[in-house]
């Protein structure tokens, strides 16, 4: 009989764990959260918490996979980003289901292809080693670098529906439907990420936020239950001690209904004005006492409730629930990350809060989400947040007083002035960076008042006049002060490694359009209504003829008050400035019309601290090239300081006091001779006697 019991225990012992998959790549390594297999050495987790391709610089394919996932009656969601256009060598295949972890011969497989020759999204089916069959051809998404969120659903009959959402989309776009030929049995397959890449684009592909509703994580090392040991005959004590009465464990006190309120819901954070793009639910303690959250749970739809952490929740305070590993702003409230925080549906869902006894504390159904704006509670009704950031996590609602149970007239938050046309302008651009450098766009606030950038977007204008992919600046929460600069770039290190940055806080890293080296049209506009703030159609021909190599040389605006589109108002950054001034006043700053400043050049000034001579200059206009030399009193040229360098309108030339052959000049009187040449034909000469120490 004992043998039968032991065999039954082995048979019933679970060999796998069923759950949803929610991979956010919040850990330090690829396999931190889930046991990914395959080419793990070709991927890394970057500082933004994304899965990033990090393969050798040679054309190839990188594959990651997990087991196991059913094909039917399931839902997949994932985000991918390709910082290069889709080609036959640069594209993604996300295998929703594959019987074998092999892209060449998966036996049977269904996958989403993103990019490839049509640069679009497509649903494909693959059988054996045959060419994949396209079941659904979707819209073109990867004509340029792009980030896209994809959702795929299947029902029990095999009907598959594909949706996509780009940064410019408010909601998911339905790509279409297709019927899958389901296998004869209900076998589970692998979920796979396959990335094809060229040698030059072996690191610019990313994936994140992978969610699968029905997923089975196989246990690699199941432990069999131990075989029971034959018990020996018990020893009977002569005088058995009395059995103590069982003590009932202490249970936390139940929390009354309405004591804690579900107070704010951010279901679609994309484009939020000044908040991290993180979904969250805010709770508010509306009672007059501190409440223990021990045993309390949060419910999402019909899914199993998620246990909250034991925390003393003070009266009149706020608590923000969100997914562990994501960024959150909770103000003066409590931030409570949850490993199993659900993906909030944009279409609306029922949310519940339960106490330790399972009784409902609060229950609401939020409405369809609006991108970048939270739903806030106002008494018994709900309304969209009017806060300029898009929500108020951890603080009073924008239209709600501190205590929802006893509402008072809300304080209207002071919102910054709306940006008007020409308030913020394009001031400097670098379309052609150094190798390993990064393109950048510099904006300048000439309005005389603080202005928000979070409500603006940037795009390039196509030849037909329409705008290409829109890139919101919503991640920039700080206001831009008057007469200050904001530098936008995809890679801050690609700017700071090559140029002098006096104020690093002016550098903002975010997604931007690709700047063509030769010419393009940049548009800065209000995200909400599309009003154009500034527009620049630049050309590489705007560089001065003195610049023979344009790589790494920025185009600077000369006069902020002159027209953006005036070609004569733009020129190359000066050589002494390092050919770029991101985040500070342009080296070519000046006036293009009216009375011009006089040209002034100082004597060489020696610094005992640096051991260098500095020659300060102030020129009447930009665009001069400079030749500067040192002569002795006999008229012999003994040193060269500048050889046809492009100057700015102001700056300084530095000289270390050595001659052309590298030896230090002896003390005495010498002559500084400078010649300035302008494209217009104007020439200026300057001669100055000075003392070499």
Determine the pLDDT at residue 28. 85
Write out the H or E segment, with its range, that includes residue 424: strand 424-430
Residue 10: band (very low, low, confident or very high) from pLDDT cuts 50, 70, 90: very low
264 burial level (CB within 10 Å; 0-12, 13-18, 19+): buried
Determine the pLDDT at residue 589. 87
Residue 371: band (very low, low, confident or very high) from pLDDT cuts 50, 70, 90: confident
Which residues in 49-72 are b (16+ Cβ under 10 Å) and which e?
ebbbbbbeeeebebbbbbbbbbbb
CB 137 within 8 A of CB 144: no
From residue 190, alpha-carbon distances to 65, 66, 95, 100, 284 in Å are 6, 6, 8, 7, 42
CB 274 within 8 A of CB 395: no
**Closest C-alpha to 431, from 347, 519, 370:** 519
Q: Taking 80 as the threshold, does the pLDDT of residue 660 lie above it?
A: yes
Local structure of residue 664 (DSSP, 8 states): B
Residue 54: band (very low, low, confident or very high) from pLDDT cuts 50, 70, 90: very high
Q: Taking 70 as the threshold, does the pLDDT of residue 303 lie above it?
A: yes
Determine the pLDDT at residue 407. 52
CA–CA dist 344, 211 (Å, integer): 12
Residue 681: band (very low, low, confident or very high) from pLDDT cuts 50, 70, 90: confident
pLDDT, one tens digit per residue, over 194-228 is 999 988 888 999 999 999 998 876 544 433 444 44
CA–CA dist 510, 507 (Å, integer): 10
Calculate mean pLDDT across residues 543-548. Answer: 84
The encoded tokens of residue 285 equal 């303690």
Q: Taking 50 as the threshold, does the pLDDT of residue 341 lie above it?
A: yes
Calculate mean pLDDT across residues 471-492. Answer: 93
- Average pLDDT in the chain: 85
pLDDT, one tens digit per residue, over 224-248 is 444 444 545 544 444 444 434 433 4
Alpha helices in 251-331 (DSSP H): none
Determine the pLDDT at residue 170. 80
Calculate mean pLDDT across residues 113-129. Answer: 88
Q: Taking 90 as the threshold, does the pLDDT of residue 608 lie above it?
A: no
CB 297 within 8 A of CB 354: yes
From residue 660, alpha-carbon distances to 639, 655, 674 in Å are 5, 11, 16
pLDDT, one tens digit per residue, over 393-423 is 999 998 544 444 455 555 555 566 789 999 9
Q: Taking 50 as the threshold, does the pLDDT of residue 438 lie above it?
A: yes
Determine the pLDDT at residue 356. 85
Calculate mean pLDDT across residues 528-557. Answer: 92
Determine the pLDDT at residue 410. 56
Q: Taking 90 as the threshold, does the pLDDT of residue 434 lie above it?
A: yes
Q: What percent of the chain has pLDDT over 90?
A: 48
Q: Taking 90 as the threshold, does the pLDDT of residue 83 lie above it?
A: no
Calculate mean pLDDT across residues 87-116. Answer: 91
Place of tokens 């011009």: 596
Calculate mean pLDDT across residues 92-97. Answer: 95
Domains and CATH numbers, the chain: 16-218 (2.60.120.200), 260-384 (2.60.40.1260), 424-572 (2.60.40.1260), 600-692 (2.60.40.4070)
Q: Taking 80 as the threshold, does the pLDDT of residue 678 lie above it?
A: yes
Q: Is the dihedral of CA 356, 322, 50, 115 positive or negative?
A: positive
Q: What are phi and psi of 304, to 5 degrees?
A: -60, 135
pLDDT, one tens digit per residue, over 252-282 is 567 888 899 999 999 988 877 778 889 999 9
Calculate mean pLDDT across residues 664-669. Answer: 93
Residue 593: band (very low, low, confident or very high) from pLDDT cuts 50, 70, 90: low
CA–CA dist 540, 561 (Å, integer): 22
From residue 633, alpha-carbon distances to 17, 246, 630, 690 in Å are 90, 109, 10, 11
Q: Is the dihedral of CA 666, 672, 673, 678 positive or negative?
A: positive
The encoded tokens of residue 208 equal 């994140």
**Closest C-alpha to 474, from 490, 492, 452, 496:** 452
CB 586 within 8 A of CB 651: no
From residue 376, alpha-carbon distances to 284, 421, 661 in Å are 12, 32, 74
Alpha helices in 161-276 (DSSP H): none
Determine the pLDDT at residue 7. 38
- Hey, which bits of 491-648 come out as E strands? 507-509, 519-526, 532-539, 555-557, 570-572, 600-601, 605-606, 613-618, 624-631, 637-646
CA–CA dist 53, 196 (Å, integer): 10
Q: Taking 50 as the threshold, does the pLDDT of residue 638 lie above it?
A: yes
Q: Taking 50 as the threshold, does the pLDDT of residue 306 lie above it?
A: yes
CA–CA dist 553, 579 (Å, integer): 5
Determine the pLDDT at residue 326. 87
User: Could you report how far apart the first and last alpha carbons of the chain are, in Å?
Assistant: 106
Of 14-23, 345-354, 498-507, 519-528, the range with the highest mean pLDDT is 519-528
Least confident window among 151-155, 241-245, 437-441:
241-245
């Amino acid at each position: 009989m004992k043998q039968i019991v032991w065999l039954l225990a082995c048979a019933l012992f679970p060999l796998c764990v069923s759950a949803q998959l929610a991979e956010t790549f919040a850990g330090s390594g690829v396999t931190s959260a889930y046991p990914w297999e395959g080419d793990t050495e070709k991927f890394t987790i970057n500082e933004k918490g994304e899965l990033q391709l990090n393969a050798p610089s040679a054309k190839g394919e990188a594959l990651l996979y997990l087991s196991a996932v059913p094909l039917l009656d399931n839902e997949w969601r994932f985000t991918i980003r390709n910082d290069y256009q889709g080609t036959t060598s640069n594209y993604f295949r996300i295998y929703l289901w594959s019987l074998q972890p092999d892209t060449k011969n998966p036996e049977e497989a269904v996958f989403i292809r993103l990019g490839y020759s049509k640069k679009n999204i497509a649903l494909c089916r693959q059988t054996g080693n045959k060419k994949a069959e396209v079941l659904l051809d979707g819209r073109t998404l990867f004509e340029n670098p792009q980030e896209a969120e994809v959702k795929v659903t299947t029902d029990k009959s095999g009907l598959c529906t594909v949706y996509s959402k780009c940064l410019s989309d408010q909601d998911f776009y339905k790509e279409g439907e297709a019927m899958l030929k389901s296998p004869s049995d209900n076998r589970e397959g692998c979920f796979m990420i396959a990335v094809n890449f060229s040698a030059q684009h072996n690191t610019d592909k990313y994936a994140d936020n992978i969610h699968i509703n029905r997923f089975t994580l196989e246990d690699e090392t199941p432990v069999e239950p131990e075989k029971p040991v034959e018990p020996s005959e018990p020893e009977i004590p002569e005088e058995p001690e009395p059995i103590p009465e069982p003590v009932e464990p202490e249970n936390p006190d139940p929390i009354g209904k309405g004591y804690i309120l579900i107070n704010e819901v951010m279901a679609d954070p994309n484009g939020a004005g000044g908040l991290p793009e993180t979904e969250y639910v805010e709770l508010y303690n509306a009672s007059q006492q501190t409440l223990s959250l021990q045993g309390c749970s949060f419910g999402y739809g019909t899914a199993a409730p998620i246990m909250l952490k034991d925390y003393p929740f003070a009266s009149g305070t706020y608590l923000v629930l969100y997914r562990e590993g994501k960024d959150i702003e909770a103000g003066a409230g409590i931030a409570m990350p949850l490993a199993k925080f659900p993906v909030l549906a944009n279409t609306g869902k029922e949310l519940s809060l339960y106490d330790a006894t399972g009784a409902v504390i609060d229950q609401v159904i939020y409405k369809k989400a609006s991108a970048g704006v939270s739903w806030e509670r106002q008494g018994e009704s709900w309304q969209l947040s009017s806060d300029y950031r898009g929500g108020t996590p951890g603080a009073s609602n924008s239209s709600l007083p501190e205590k929802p149970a006893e509402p008072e007239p809300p304080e209207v938050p002071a919102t910054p002035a709306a940006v008007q046309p020409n308030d913020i302008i394009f001031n400097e651009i670098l379309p052609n960076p150094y190798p390993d450098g990064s393109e950048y766009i510099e904006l300048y606030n000439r309005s005389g008042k603080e202005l928000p950038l979070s409500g603006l977007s940037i795009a390039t204008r196509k030849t037909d006049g329409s705008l290409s992919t829109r890139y919101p600046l919503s991640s920039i929460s700080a206001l831009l002060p008057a007469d200050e600069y904001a530098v936008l770039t995809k890679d801050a290190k690609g700017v700071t490694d090559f140029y002098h940055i006096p104020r690093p806080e002016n550098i903002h890293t975010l997604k931007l359009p690709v700047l063509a080296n030769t010419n393009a049209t940049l548009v800065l506009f209000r995200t909400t209504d599309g009003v154009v703030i500034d527009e620049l159609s630049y050309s590489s021909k705007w560089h001065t003829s003195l610049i023979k190599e344009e790589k790494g040389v920025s185009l600077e605006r000369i006069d902020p008050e002159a027209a953006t589109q005036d070609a004569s108002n733009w020129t190359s950054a000066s050589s002494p400035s390092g050919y770029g001034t991101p985040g500070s006043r342009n080296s070519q700053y000046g006036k293009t019309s009216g009375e011009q400043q006089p040209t002034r050049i100082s004597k060489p000034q020696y610094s005992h601290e640096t051991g260098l001579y500095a020659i300060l200059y102030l020129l009447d206009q930009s665009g001069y090239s400079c030749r500067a030399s040192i002569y002795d009193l006999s008229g012999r040229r003994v040193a060269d300081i500048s050889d046809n360098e492009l100057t700015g309108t102001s700056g300084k030339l530095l000289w270390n006091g050595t001659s052309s052959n590298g030896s230090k000049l002896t003390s005495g009187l010498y002559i500084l001779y400078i010649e300035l040449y302008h494209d217009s034909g104007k020439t200026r000469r300057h001669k100055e006697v000075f003392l070499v120490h």
